[in-house]
Structure 1
Amino acid sequence: MRKHLIIAAISGALVLGGTAITSPVVNAAGNGPEYQGHETINTQILHTYQEMMTFLETQNKKQAQMEVEVIGQTVKGRDIPLVKYMSDPANPTILYLAQQHGDEALTTEGMLDYIKSLGTGKNKGVLDNVNILLIPMYNADGAMGDVNYELEDYAAKGPRHLTRYNANQVDLNRDHEARTQPETQALHQNVLQKYDIDYMIDLHHQGAQWVKDDKYVSGAIFYPYPEHTKADVLYKSKQLGAVVYEAIEPKGWGHLAKYAGKGSAYGAGIGVYGIANEYDISTLLLEMRGTADNAFDFEVLGQKSNGYLTKQSVIGMEKTAQAIADGSVLNESIEFWEDLPVQESILED
């Protein structure tokens, strides 16, 4: 049976499970068409794993500064590519990680756009002063729906489903301490322990129900857990967040909040927490609104929002790399965090 969440707007109120609550949402900055079973979600518009690999091969031939390294394989044997721009070992290094959850596909779309732009004059000079590492599709099995369990009642009508977990039904973003999965082992052994990484942005999606100031958010940001992070690592994480906030919030569609959700409680297996703690990497969680596929309708956002959400990913990567390259990230004030509201869910009565 399909897991619909039925929401009806009646005289400015939401009716949820028979309980009326005041609706905080009209047509907001971060708003986009809500799926709720009313729009076709087609996975054909998203890069498949093979299309992504072909894209990377093409760009690698075009871009002199680009290199692609295979860091390991997924459960199903797919190569996990690491895209590298390593101009000088002495430069600060940033890692961008996309699609830990296979249904969070616009982070991959944005990363591929960003990789292409690194081969143009738009980012001229940036690569001379910062090393950039990118993993465009960390959970390729989940992204392809090639898993060892049934995917029932999912929203997408395209040729494949996308699911949060890897092929073994493990949440890779809860596996950074135990490291039971080949994907997690590859990331830690062949990236985090191999390269001297200063910064990381962990790109994700969240459900479509989150609001700030009575408006749907376009996304959310969060830093490592203060009690489990060195002071200087935490400070630089917050500075990284300041760059992202200042770049996105002024956009007409930009509406960022402080993250709140299942991952807001500390766990060493969560990437933004455990990686910052273990490797002293200043880390930022950047969440886009809505997933690309799900069995729960309210997790999915209508794909007419894909454009601005993909752009949000690109801007987050582009501006942080520029700020690290020119050193301006070190001058960023972190005071905005004190006033940044925590997002709220309209599903809570």
Structure 2
Amino acid sequence: MKKKIIALSVTGVLSLGVLAPIASPAFAVGNGPGYGGNESIQTSNLYTYEEMVQFLKKQDAKQDAMELEVIGHTVKNREIYLAKYITNPSNPTVLFLTQQHGNEQLTTEGALEFIKHLGTNKTKGVLENVNILVLPMLNADGAMGDVDFSLEDYVADGGRHLTRYNAVGTDLNRDHVDKIQPETQALHQNVLQKYDIDYMIDLHHQGTEYERDGKLVSGSMLYPTNENVKPEVLEKSKKLGAVVFNAVDSTGWGHIGKYNGGSGENIGRNGAAVQYDIATLLFEMRGMSDHEDPSRVIGQKSNGYLIKQTVTTLDATVRAIADGSIESADTSFWDTLATQTQR
């Protein structure tokens, strides 16, 4: 039986500027925002599905608090993994979900870095007081470009293309009512319905050229906007957003806007909030790993700070839930947060 272990403060690592590379040796993690136009990206510097699985299994073997679970399979029969840190069933539980869209991978890179740091022993009182679920790379087929449609117009280089859609061309983040695709079924049946989840952050990427108050943003957020979300769930969601905003926007290199998103229940943040009363937050990072439109692709100069932004987001969230400070988070900033615009 695995014994309890305590978690590393990623915040402390970030403040020292020593966040280590997490993929191949050529994958350099920088410290500053890579604003400066659209940049080509070498997809060979991103985790492949197989490399991610190898990483997760290695961490599972090293970390006593971690348990790795296969929750289902993709269209192309790739196993879908969930990393679990459950020390006390009565603790509040948070789910971090990445890569519903296969061409939005830097949040997955950050989530894997976060998992690695959860296996060290420099921070006390985190895993003892919060349960953490991390589901990286839900859309593994899209991430690997293993699809039944052409990707010849995609622009990333490095031997592999990444697509928004799953293998049969479905947007998984529009399948949370019908739940037709096996990836969506696995998420709902074996995660959202199986575990008593209080909070969820659904991590995505948007295009590169967005502004807030005249400044280029590094990301944007939105709470559930479906009319059937209960008021108390909506308020908890806004508090979750306050924690993330205060952690990221205050850094100086992360500027957050309000995402202009839809209200359909078929969208992940809305579906989970309506169907399971989970407080949810959509967090959209700047730039995609691959796209038919080159203007939406972000490259090597920017991936370091975006990975750092992901780790900062996850770390701040689990700390606020663990110490209860999320309950008193001030949500008034939402009233004046500018909705992002595209230029």
TM above 0.5, yes or no, is: yes
**1:21 alignment partner in structure 2:** none
- Distance in 1 (CA, whole Å) between partners of 2:78 and 2:262 is 32
After TM superposition, the structure 1 = structure 2 runs for residues 146-161 of structure 1, keeping only pairs within 5 Å, are 146-161=146-161
2:34–2:305 CA contact under 8 A, matched in 1: no
Contact 2:40 2:298 in 1 (8 A): no
User: Cα distance, 1:159 vs. partner?
Assistant: 1.3
2:311 maps to 1:314: yes
Q: Does 1:63 align with 2:66?
A: no
C-alpha displacement at 1:303, in angstroms?
Answer: 2.2
Q: For 2:117 and 2:123, how far apart are their aligned partners in 1?
A: 7
* C-alpha distance after superposition, 1:176-219 (max 9, x if no partner): 00111000000001111110000000000001121111111000
Match of 1:52 in 2: 52
Q: Is the 8 A contact 1:229 1:280 kept in 2?
A: yes
Residue in 2 aligned with 1:7? Answer: none
Corresponding residue SS for 2:243 = helix
Give 1:226 deviation, angstroms.
Answer: 5.5
Work out whether residues 31 and 218 of structure 1, in 8 Å CA contact, stay in contact via their aligned partners in 2: no
- Provide the residue aligned with 1:341 in structure 2: 338
Give per-residue Cα distances to partners, 1:74-115, cap 9 Å, x unaligned. Answer: 000000000000000000000000000000000100000000
Give the Å deviation of 1:287: 0.6
Contact 1:69 1:82 in 2 (8 A): yes
Does the residue aligned with 1:128 lie in a helix, a strand or coil? coil
How far does residue 155 in structure 1 lie from its aligned partner after superposition?
Answer: 1.3
**Aligned-pair CA distance for 1:157:** 1.1
Q: CA deviation at 1:32?
A: 1.6
Query: Would you say the 8 A contact 2:33–2:302 is kept in 1?
Result: no
Superposition pairs of residues 116-131 of structure 1, within 5 angstroms: 116-131=116-131
* Residue 128 of structure 1, CA deviation: 0.4
SS of 2:330 mapped into structure 1: coil
Greater Rg over alpha carbons, structure: 1
State whether structure 2 residue 268 is matched by structure 1 residue 274: no
CA contact (8 A) 1:143 1:161 kept: yes
Give the aligned partner of residue 187 of structure 1: 187
Distance 2:204 2:145 in 1: 18
| Matched position secondary structure for 2:227 | helix
> Which position in structure 2 is the counterpart of 1:286?
283
Q: Could you report, residue by residue, the CA deviation over 1:57-77 in whole angstroms, capped at 9, with x for unpaired residues?
A: 110011000000000000000
Aligned residue type for 1:338: D
Count of paired positions: 312
- Whole-Å separation in 1 of the counterparts to 2:294 and 2:123: 38
Name the counterpart of 1:33. 36
* Inter-partner Cα distance in structure 2 for 1:329 and 1:72: 32
* AA of the residue aligned to 1:127: L
Match of 2:26 in 1: none
Aligned match of 2:27: none
How far is the alpha carbon of 1:46 from its aligned partner?
0.4
Q: Which residue of 1 aligns with 2:4?
A: none
What secondary structure does 1:100 align onto?
A: coil
- TM superposition shift of 1:31: 5.8
Partner Cα separation in structure 1 for residue 141 and residue 228 of structure 2 = 31
Give the equivalent residue in structure 2 for 1:82: 82
Cα distance between partner residues in 2 of 1:118 and 1:47:
19
Q: CA deviation at 1:297?
A: 1.0
AA matched with 1:223: Y
Alpha-carbon distance in 2 for matches of 1:115, 1:124: 16
After TM superposition, give the deviation of residue 340 of structure 1 in Å.
0.6
Q: Is the 8 A contact 1:126 1:321 kept in 2?
A: yes
Indicate if the aligned counterparts of 1:43 and 1:156 stay in contact, CA closer than 8 A. Answer: yes
Structure 2 letter corresponding to 1:283: T
Task: Give the 3-state SS of the residue equivalent to 2:101 in structure 1.
Answer: coil
1:167-246 correspondence runs (5 A) = 167-225=167-225, 227-246=227-246
Whether the aligned pair in 2 keeps the contact of 1:32 and 1:302 (CA below 8 Å) is: no
Within 5 Å, which residues of 2 pair with 1:3-18? none
Question: Any stretches of 5+ residues in structure 1 without a counterpart?
Answer: 1-28
Distance (Å, rounded) in 2 between the aligned partners of 1:117 and 1:247: 18
Gaps (5+ residues) in structure 2? 1-31
In percent, how many aligned pairs have the same letter? Answer: 58
* 1:149-169 deviation digits (Å, cap 9, x = unpaired): 000221111110000000010
Paired with 1:125 and 1:257, the residues of 2 have a C-alpha distance of 32
1:16 paired residue number = none
Q: Which moved more, 1:226-235 or 1:274-283?
A: 226-235
Structure 2 residue 114 is matched with structure 1 residue 111: no
CA distance in 1, matches of 2:234, 2:188: 21
SS of the equivalent of 2:37 reads coil
Instruction: For 1:124 and 1:308, locate their aligned partners in 2 and report how far apart those are by CA, in whole Å.
Output: 26
Cα pair 1:30 1:217 within 8 Å, conserved: no
Contact 1:31–1:216 (8 Å) recurs in 2: no
Quote the residue 2:322 is aligned against.
Answer: 325
